Amino acid sequence: MALTAAQCAWGLLLNFVFYTGSSCIDSAPVLPHHNYCIIGAGPSGLQMAYFLHRAGRDYVVFERGHAPGSFFTLYPRHRKLISINKRYTGKSNSEFNLRHDWNSLLSHDSRLLFRHYSRDFFPDADTMVRYLEDFASMLELQVQYNIAIVHVRLEKDSQAWNGHYFILTDHKSQSYRCSLLLIATGTWVPNVVHFPGSEYVEGYESVSINPEDFAGQTVLILGRGNSAFETAENILGVTNFIHMVSRSRVRLSWATHYVGDLRAINNGLLDTYQLKSLDGLLEGDLEDLAIVKDKKGKLHITLKFYLENSNSSASAESITLPQDELDNFATRAPYDRVIRCLGWKFDFSIYNRSLRLMPGKGNKKKYPLIKPSYESRGTRGLFVLGTASHSIDFRKSAGGFIHGFRYTTRAVHRLLEHRHHGVPWPSPVYPITQLMNSIIKRVNEASGLYQMFSVLGDIILLRENAMAFEYLEEYPVGILAELELHTGRKAHNGLFVVIMEYGKNFSGADKDVFYYNRAVGEAQHAWQSNFLHPVIYYYKRLPTEREMRLRPPDWPLPRPDAIHHIVEDFLTDWTAPNAHILPLRRFLENCLNTDLRSFFAESCFLFALTRQKLPPFCQQGYMRMQGLVGNEILRHHAVEASLLEDYTVMHSTDELLGGQRGSRDQLLKDHLIQGGSLHLVNTKDEL
């Protein structure tokens, strides 16, 4: 049937609309997409990129600078890092040596250890820049340079991993779509205090670092951290005098055991203050201050309320100063320069309100508010790494520094591997006879436990009947209640948590850490240990979230069913048979209600004939035809140690059985018999 003219016209119109619509859809920009987007190619950003790269994940790193580590191209201003580079420890164990290498990132390439880059104990910042450049290039990490992310927002999508995508826009208006966002920008925005006259203050980020520019001048420094003392140290020998003012007293790192507090390398001004060489420290709220400038260009310190009571148009000479009423006012002498050294804070400006990325509270307001899993409290799928994540352990552990956050970054990667790729947290399974050896090995070697004390812990999950266990290394103990959710491992039969701790009352700005008898040496007083030492918590069941919230103040974990402190050691070498290993073995035996000693084959044979239940060592060794192969040298050693009877002098069966009976009774009496148990690490090798 022939079509009418009207029908033909209508069909053409529909075709036009269809093709026009299709053309519009096809021409819509398709945003570059990555599963993982990392903002910042500093140490934490590169560390996470390394783990994602090794796992074969789709990721990208956006860096605003032309090379990684742009922060270190400017800071510290005087170019001396305060992170130690201890090249010699007397040990060849690479994991142990990382305890004293505060600059290296984790990788499989031994060439990328910082000791190959600098021989200085406190390296130069330019060396760190070169190290990070090599780390990114040698490992072929996917970093896009000269891209400054200026805006981040959410885009809802039910198909996305977390119910939304992150849309990142750079300074050229190019946008990127990401399934998961990892913020590794650090804290780089200078802290600025505003008060009348603050326009006369020079910032740490721009002040001259040439000492000759300060020759014969009088200087006031605002702040009392390492940047303030670093600045003072640089000009100490050329100034008339230096005064330093801050709202809180100076905190010495050796007293607080927090590496972010004042380090000895920068504290020369403390000498000149206490030895009365004109320099000095003052305490006061900076927001109450005011600075007035006289006709000669000198800067006078006054208080804000004096200005409030003066005519706003009054000259500096007519303004009332504190010394007009108190003629011995501490800062009555005028200053030539005032320098602000108040540290840095996180840049919140680029994040849209839809992300709900909020600052912390109190002294943590310079950091974003995050969970102990390092995930934002406001947005699922947004994680904060590195220095910016330091709110979790601020003034407690090393999470704000390379030697700490290289381990927390690895922990975040393991959490993500399980959440999005179904890869459980690594957890090798060992027979229960290796429990004590495993703990001793880790507390003597592990760097993550040592540096992130009270934050990361080893989790030991007991199998049914306590005949085997799983070992999870360096898990964030703040989310212990959610262990099964985050790791894919089950904790149905009890668990141990191994962490490192300082004594509860040993750290603080007002503590005397050099007092007489400060160290504990006796195993029975191990719970009073002051210095860093291993602590083992035993739980019959996994603690709940409520128990985690209600844990005692300053406790990293809730009260356990049993707890054991391994006594502190001057050499941090917890292998002493009587002081360290024997008390640990007895603690584990009491928790497990089993015998963890090692036995010779003869003893296992005797137990097999006289007991219904054999010790685990005999069950898993002797009964499976495994264990020590007897020989004359070994037998002679056992006889001399009173571990076995000398059968060569026994002739009758009655004598043999009698001797065995006495030996059996002796074995069953008490585990503390001198030389009566083989409980040392690597016992077989030693025998």
Cis peptide before 553 (omega within 30 of 0): no
Residue 647: band (very low, low, confident or very high) from pLDDT cuts 50, 70, 90: low
Residue 613: band (very low, low, confident or very high) from pLDDT cuts 50, 70, 90: confident
Region 26-50 average pLDDT:
90
pLDDT at residue 671 in the model: 40
* Rg, Å, the chain Cα set: 32
pLDDT at residue 311 in the model: 59
Q: How many residues belong to the chain?
A: 687
The conformational region for residue 540 under phi > 0 = left, psi -120 to 50 = alpha, else beta, is alpha
Q: Is 181 a residue whose pLDDT tops 50?
A: yes
| Residue 645 or residue 413, greater confidence | 413
Percentage of the residues of the chain whose pLDDT score is greater than 70 = 87
Nearest to 602 by CA among 610, 592, 613: 610
Calpha distance 513→511 (Å, rounded): 6
**Residue 440 belongs to what H/E stretch?**
helix 435-445
How many CB atoms neighbour CB 684 within 10 A?
11
Residue 33: band (very low, low, confident or very high) from pLDDT cuts 50, 70, 90: very high
Segment 47-64, tens digit of pLDDT: 999 999 999 999 999 999
Q: Report strand pairing: 456-462 vs 562-565.
A: unpaired
CA distances from 570 to 52, 88, 210, 403 (A): 39, 18, 42, 22
Calpha distance 92→426 (Å, rounded): 25
Region 220-248 average pLDDT:
94
Region 425-438 average pLDDT:
95
Of the listed ranges 40-44, 134-138, 253-257, 416-420, the one predicted with least confidence: 253-257
Q: Report strand pairing: 429-431 vs 289-293.
A: unpaired
Calpha distance 245→248 (Å, rounded): 9
Q: Is 681 a residue whose pLDDT tops 60?
A: no
Calpha distance 637→631 (Å, rounded): 10
Is residue 383 within 8 A of residue 374, CB to CB? The reply is yes
Is residue 527 within 8 A of residue 469, CB to CB? The reply is no
| Residue 30 or residue 318, greater confidence | 30
Cβ contacts of residue 96 below 8 Å, gap of 6+? 89, 444, 445, 447
Is residue 430 within 8 A of residue 468, CB to CB? The reply is yes
How many CB atoms neighbour CB 499 within 10 A?
21
Of the listed ranges 28-32, 357-361, 375-379, 603-607, the one predicted with least confidence: 28-32
Residue 310: band (very low, low, confident or very high) from pLDDT cuts 50, 70, 90: low
Is residue 373 within 8 A of residue 479, CB to CB? The reply is yes
Q: Is 21 a residue whose pLDDT tops 80?
A: no
Region 641-661 average pLDDT:
55
SS3 469: strand
222 forms bridges with which residues in the sheet?
A: 245, 340
pTM score of the predicted model: 0.86
Is residue 556 within 8 A of residue 393, CB to CB? The reply is no
Region 36-55 average pLDDT:
97
Residue 331: band (very low, low, confident or very high) from pLDDT cuts 50, 70, 90: confident
Region 477-503 average pLDDT:
95
The token duo for 374 is: 């390092």
DSSP output for 390-415: GGGTTTTSSTTSHHHHHHHHHHHHHH
Calpha distance 518→531 (Å, rounded): 9
Q: Is 20 a residue whose pLDDT tops 70?
A: no
- Planar angle of CA 351, 354, 357, nearest 5 degrees: 50
How many CB atoms neighbour CB 348 within 10 A?
12
pLDDT at residue 487 in the model: 96
Describe the chain by its helix, strand, coil percentages, rounded to 5.
35, 20, 45
Q: Is 408 a residue whose pLDDT tops 70?
A: yes
Helices (H), 488-615: 545-549, 582-592, 601-610
**Residue 218 belongs to what H/E stretch?**
strand 218-222
Cβ contacts of residue 138 below 8 Å, gap of 6+? 109, 111, 112
Q: Is 631 a residue whose pLDDT tops 80?
A: no
The structure tokens 């100034």 sit at 239
The conformational region for residue 367 under phi > 0 = left, psi -120 to 50 = alpha, else beta, is beta
Region 629-652 average pLDDT:
67
Burial of 323 per CB tally in 10 Å (0-12, 13-18, 19+): middle
Residue 330: band (very low, low, confident or very high) from pLDDT cuts 50, 70, 90: confident
CA distances from 297 to 210, 218, 242, 316 (A): 21, 12, 18, 10
pLDDT at residue 636 in the model: 78
Is residue 289 within 8 A of residue 243, CB to CB? The reply is no
Residue 287: band (very low, low, confident or very high) from pLDDT cuts 50, 70, 90: confident
